[in-house]
Amino acid sequence: DAGITQSPRYKITETGRQVTLMCHQTWSHSYMFWYRQDLGHGLRLIYYSAAADITDKGEVPDGYVVSRSKTENFPLTLESATRSQTSVYFCASRGTSGSVQYFGPGTRLTVL
Amino acid sequence: AQSVTQPDIHITVSEGASLELRCNYSYGATPYLFWYVQSPGQGLQLLLKYFSGDTLVQGIKGFEAEFKRSQSSFNLRKPSVHWSDAAEYFCAVGPLGNEKLTFGTGTRLTIIP
């Protein structure tokens, strides 16, 4: 499918487990982003990537790991999930020519 | 540091009435400004953006926004709302040439018949 997709859409896990959220885009956009959305906080940037093999921290990076070996994929890993990481996670991408970010449908993650 | 304030957490409007959602930003230079809409269970969709030029920006779904540098505001307006406009609206700011967007906390819009 064209556009930006996220998988899974819903995930329930337990404290201490490793979880990986996937993001895939078909536009060959250079930039990709991970946000978390929490009530009262809006969207906060976790990590972003300017190109394959280039990543940088956002506002709330602790407890998360990212990688970007291919332009189209940008997985987000919670190495040891905590209850405070219960949230809705959004992936976004944008090209180099403009600042408009296009968002995926989100992943709702619950950590028990 | 850049920041965005959306002072209204929740707004209720009658169908057919006009709407204005407030957004105030803090940034030292000319910013990129955006309004996104999020329907329940969905991702964010871009409504409109301001980069430069005309301070009144037209977007999709009949929305418009006005950039007022003197007031550091970028308020979203619609002359007549429809029940399908019920959603959460986010204002965002990003510096020119920088990829880091900062989002406001959002305004939830409820439409009553």
The answer to whether the CB atoms of B99 and A41 lie below 8 A apart is no
Categorize the per-residue pLDDT at B96 as very low, low, confident or very high, splitting at 50, 70 and 90: low
C-alpha B78/C-alpha B49 separation (Å) is 15
Q: Which of B33, B51, B52, B99 to mutate to test the interface with A (most CBs of A within 10 A)?
A: B99
Phi and psi at B8, nearest 5°, equal -100, 115
- Neighboring chain B residues of A94 at a CB cutoff of 8 Å: 99
* Residue type, position A104, single letter: G
In chain B, what are the domains? 3-112 (2.60.40.10)
C-alpha B95/C-alpha B100 separation (Å) is 8
B24 DSSP β-pair partners: B5, B73
Torsion of CA B96, B52, B42, B5, to 10 degrees: 70
Q: Using a pLDDT cut of 70, give the percent of chain B over it.
A: 96
A4-111 — its CATH code? Answer: 2.60.40.10
C-alpha B113/C-alpha B110 separation (Å) is 10
The answer to whether the CB atoms of A48 and B99 lie below 8 A apart is yes
- Would you state the pLDDT for residue B87? 96
CB A111, CB A82: distance < 8 Å: yes
Residues (pLDDT < 70) of chain A are 1-2, 97-98
- Neighboring chain A residues of B104 at a CB cutoff of 8 Å: 42
The burial class, CB within 10 Å (0-12 / 13-18 / 19+), for B22 is middle
Q: What ranges do the domains of chain A cover? A: 4-111
Q: Looking at CA atoms only, how far is residue B79 from chain A in angstroms?
A: 25
- Would you state the pLDDT for residue A87? 97
Ordered DSSP codes for A30-99: SEEEEEEEETTTEEEEEEEEEETTEEEE-S--TTEEE--SSTTB--EEESS--GGG-EEEEEEEE-TT--
- Would you state the pLDDT for residue B88? 95
- Would you state the pLDDT for residue B95? 73
- Would you state the pLDDT for residue A98? 67
- Neighboring chain B residues of A29 at a CB cutoff of 8 Å: none
C-alpha A60/C-alpha B7 separation (Å) is 23
Token pair listed for A44: 């906060």
Q: Is the pLDDT of residue B97 over 70?
A: no
Render pLDDT for B25-77 as a digit per residue (tens, 0 to 9): 998 777 889 999 999 888 899 999 998 888 999 999 999 999 999 999 999 99
Q: Looking at CA atoms only, how far is residue B10 from chain A in angstroms?
A: 12
The answer to whether the CB atoms of A100 and B42 lie below 8 A apart is no
- Neighboring chain A residues of B6 at a CB cutoff of 8 Å: 42
The answer to whether the CB atoms of A42 and B100 lie below 8 A apart is no
Count other Cβ atoms within 10 Å, centred on residue A52: 16
